[in-house]
Chains A and B, each alone.
Chain A
């Protein structure tokens, strides 16, 4: 039961819970999933997970279509803005974007095209939605990917230490520090970082760019360095507010492990404390954490909306916000789908490879 309440701690960890209770994937001690031992059973399990993911993706597709139809506003009026347009022009635009069709027909068309990766044409950019997304995707992946690697490293490292030294000054400090940063609104932290480190305050000079991903110009190494320079503050912001999750889950799963009988046995054998930790506790405790990592990665993509907004990062988050205010329906739908799909895919990936990673299963 304890594993149940751990993830409840933090909303983003929710996915772990689903993964761990959802199927036969082992949640606790290894011996609970005998089925995963045999290959065929595993394949059946994996196929089930993939099928589930496909159903979820479809459900998301449906939601993305209908949810945003509720946004008040006629897209054609939005597109024409305050300009004078003839009724024929309006009719032509409706035809162009397929808005003259009945809703169900629009829906089937949307689904059919979405399967081929075609999400239609953006109202405001007059470009294929997929083009806009593939343009913005690298920026988001770069930002979230970098942040992900760093906060995962910090989170696991500090989480393991904290758990092993449960109750010590170091543990208390880390937990408190992480929880504090976790409670901080990310956009606020970003703004403060801009005020202090980017604009400069008092004796502190402005050292980092205030926004954007690149200054433009330069190639090769200079370009890489330029982007790296622009990335520092957004990455720091993301890492600061995100690493607490990893830390806390790593910490609690290691604490769980520490209560296990096999560790007592290991200790009883007279193994060194360090060795017990490295050899037994940490690898086992890593399992739930690994699951969490995938879920984190999926969520971070969506969670970057704020950071991207504050730092003018040209990624998906900024695009989503921009598209919502128009509302640029095709773009909003597609982005919503992409965000949800990221989480679903990561969850499924975690589900599928979880049994493979478990050292106590099928090694």
Chain B
């Protein structure tokens, strides 16, 4: 039985057609009149731009801004924007990353290296007309030293400060408790005292209430919409010279593919990638007209870390790292079964360099390579032999077992958001599987918890290295170990090695650059031999921009360097608009006729639907009377 009413009999002629038409209309509505909407969008964004005369550089970013307050911001996108809004005491040369003047023109240190005196430039002005002085700098540092809320993002810089004073409008004096190597690398935005004095709670103030935001950097922040965009305009009075683009927009794309698509269409001028474009994206963009892919040596290393047995400063052990990994032979065998060329070729598809020492080759003076005899080259046969030697032999099922007869199974911590971790995890499973070792890939959004707790065997590890290697070296010293079990600490991987620590102390006290570099290299060599940090690759920074919008842009280092996330503001400050072009930002906002037509269609569809219902209603009502 189907229904009680064989509806066929009720259907007047011509009905069927109407139903089909109706369904057709529905299908069309679903396609949202896209066809109608489409064609008028043909004109390229540049043309749309020319009319408004302002040149705009739009940057697609994959991070949303966490805070616009320089005291709170921690994400790369936010700190990059602060670089543009506020001048720092010093800057890094675009060519070779050496320290050059910023807000401070020169600096000197006392004989005991505990007092630093900076001379503040006289030609830097806040965008509200006030002069930027040593007072502002002193106030900024003092605020960070006295207000817990203001120390959130850069507190570590001032931890060792004893006293900061402005002895004149152009003299800033910083007294230290102990000598500090990073005094010419104080990456702290200096804010205008007269504006920030009025802020009440620094831990809650996000600097996004009043626009434009008063600053003295190459750009002035003019507008911000959460999770949408940050807009800046060129600071025409910037002491180093005005930027070439009139406007700079950072637009947030949750999805990297969407950002790349936006670049293809000219909606944005530049895509940074998070952290870099995928090989597939780079390959396809390379063949696209008017787009240049910037493939530069990166500043990151990508390593395989092994848990050396987590412990506190006092030597209290915690965590559950696999005991087999305490054997250097096992660590070496594992790494020798990792085919690094395959990782470069297959996972990074050439957009990375093979890993050697701890510091990427980009920092030439600190780059170190293992000697031929030292190198743990890819050699599965030798790896197998090493494991045999260490007492882990294959059983009848092809699994390696320890002396206790238990199979050798490891876990590896992987970042769920990093495709490379997941990809290499698959390779490791197979390579180590051939050796007879099991591997469980634990992918988590939040790896830091098991990490701090020492509850891992192996982990994918990586750091972005600064021009000064102090930080990335310091995280492997015994001093960085946690005070209490499972507490967060500076340590990266619970490494504590006497030999390494001695070298670290030596380099810290060494002020001769060449000698210091040599010590750093010795530390790298020692780190390599321990087998706790096995660098697999140095991923490239792969980014792309539109050549019809950006004529030229400075990379850092200037030959073969990256554009986004530089240590200075060089890229955006130096970018030159292409002829008659500018970023697409206001392109589609320019409301070409297409939008009008599209909206018209949508309105018509809606109105039609509404009308239909209204009529139906009314006729029903009439019928009732």
Contacts and interface: CB of A to CB of B under 8 A. Distances in A.
A binds B: yes
Interface of A: 71-74, 76-78, 80-81, 83-87, 89-90, 92, 96, 121, 124-127, 132, 135-136, 149-150, 153-154, 156-158, 161, 164-171, 173-174, 177, 181, 191, 194, 197-200, 204-218, 221-223, 225-226, 228-229, 232-233, 235-236, 239-240, 255, 258-259, 264, 273, 275, 278-279, 282-283, 309-312, 314, 318-319, 322, 324-327
27 contacts: A74-B452, A121-B204, A125-B66, A126-B69, A154-B26, A154-B609, A157-B609, A161-B19, A168-B19, A171-B19, A177-B27, A200-B264, A200-B265, A210-B258, A211-B255, A215-B588, A216-B228, A222-B590, A226-B588, A228-B598, A229-B598, A232-B32, A236-B30, A258-B5, A312-B252, A314-B228, A319-B227
A210 B267 contact: yes
Given A153-B613, A168-B8, A215-B588, A236 B228 contact: no
A136 B227 CA distance: 9
Contact of A92 (B148, B265, B609, B613): B148
Contacts of B5: 166, 258-259
Contact of A78 (B4, B255, B448, B483): B448
Given A125-B66, A125-B67, A177-B27, A199 B598 contact: no
A288 B596 CA distance: 37
The 8 A-B pairs of least Cβ separation, nearest first, read A170-B19, A314-B227, A211-B258, A215-B589, A210-B261, A153-B609, A218-B589, A207-B38
Interface string B198-231: 0000011010000000000000000101111101
A8 B376 CA distance: 61
Contacts of B195: none
Q: Is the interface of A mostly helix, strand, loop or mixed?
A: helix
Contacts of A327: 445-446
Contacts, number: 282
Interface stretch (B163-171, B300-308, B548-556, B616-624): B616-624
Given A83-B74, A199-B265, A259-B4, A216 B586 contact: yes
Contacts of A311: 258
A233 B258 CA distance: 13
B22 A161 contact: yes
Interface in B1-42: 2-5, 7-8, 10-12, 15-16, 19-20, 22-23, 26-27, 29-32, 34, 37-39, 41-42
Contacts of A78: 446, 448
Contacts of A126: 66-67, 69, 72, 152, 203-204, 206
B618 to A, nearest CB: 10
Contact of A279 (B590, B596, B624): B624
Interface in B438-457: 445-446, 448-450, 452
Contacts of A167: 2-3, 7-8
A243 B612 CA distance: 18
Contact of B254 (A71, A198, A211, A215): A211
Contacts of B74: 81, 83
Nearest to A149: B606
A278 B619 contact: yes
A206 B490 CA distance: 48
Nearest to B39: A205
B588 A229 contact: yes
A217 to B, nearest CB: 5
Contacts of B609: 150, 153-154, 157
B23 A157 contact: no
Contact of B66 (A124, A149, A170, A258): A124
Contacts of B254: 211, 309, 312, 318
A216 B267 CA distance: 12
A235 B69 CA distance: 35
B261 A206 contact: yes
B37 to A, nearest CB: 6
A273 B612 CA distance: 18
Nearest to B610: A153
B231 A216 contact: yes
B602 interface: yes
